């Protein structure tokens, strides 16, 4: 399951995608429209900004906005930033790999199955952009 954080992140991203190149959008506008707790959303947007997904400007007329075209921002990236691994077990994670203890990874069928699951999942999430969820 995705965390609430990830679900909010995707909704917020969708909102910004809809308004691409229309100038900065204030956090509270996103919060109200998408029904996300304001202070919680602040944290989430900040995370995504730090990872280069969004940009922001302070002061009057400020807010959040995209610099990258929305069709280039994939759901997989957003989920990884807020929730971490997409794979179901750490030893098949591409970005958050951790080797499993007491398991011969060179010939582990569990690993093989969950690598398949990971690939199936990524085939969707790496190819759906935030424009696909507006």
Q: Which residues bind DNA (CB under 7 A)?
A: 3-5, 24-28, 37-40, 42-43, 45-46, 49-50, 56-64, 83
Task: Output 2 or 57, the one with its CB closest to a copy of itself.
Answer: 2
17 near a copy of itself (CB under 8 A): no
Rule CB under 8 A: choose which of 69, 88, 95, 97 binds a copy of itself.
88
Residues 97-126 that bind a copy of itself (CB under 8 A): 101-102, 109-110, 113, 116-117, 120-121, 123-125
CA 97 to chain centre: 18
| Closest to 31 (Cα-Cα) out of 18, 47, 46, 15 | 15
CA 11 to chain centre: 10
Provide, for the chain, the percentages of residues in helix, strand and coil under a 3-state DSSP scheme, each rounded to the nearest 5. Answer: 55, 5, 35
What, of a copy of itself, DNA, none, does residue 10 touch, CB below 5 to 8 Å by kind? a copy of itself
As a three-state string, the secondary structure of 11-26 is HHHHHHHHCCCCCCEC
38 near a copy of itself (CB under 8 A): no
Binding mask 41-70 for a copy of itself (x = CB under 8 A): ------------------------------
Residues engaged in binding a copy of itself (CB under 8 A):
1-2, 7, 10-11, 14, 35, 75, 84-85, 87-90, 101-102, 109-110, 113, 116-117, 120-121, 123-125, 128, 132-134
């Amino acid at each position: 399951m995705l965390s609430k954080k990830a679900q909010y992140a995707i909704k917020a991203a969708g909102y910004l995608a809809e308004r691409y190149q229309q100038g900065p959008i204030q956090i509270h506008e996103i919060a109200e429209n998408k029904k996300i707790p304001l202070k919680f959303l602040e944290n989430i947007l900040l995370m995504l900004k730090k990872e280069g997904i969004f940009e922001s400007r302070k002061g009057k007329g400020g807010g959040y906005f995209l610099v990258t075209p929305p069709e280039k921002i994939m759901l997989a990236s957003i989920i990884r930033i807020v929730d971490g691994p997409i794979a179901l077990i750490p030893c098949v994670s591409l970005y958050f790999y951790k080797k499993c203890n007491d398991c011969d990874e060179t010939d582990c069928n569990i690993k093989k199955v969950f690598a398949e699951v990971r690939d199936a999942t990524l085939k969707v999430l790496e190819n759906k952009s935030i424009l696909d969820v507006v």
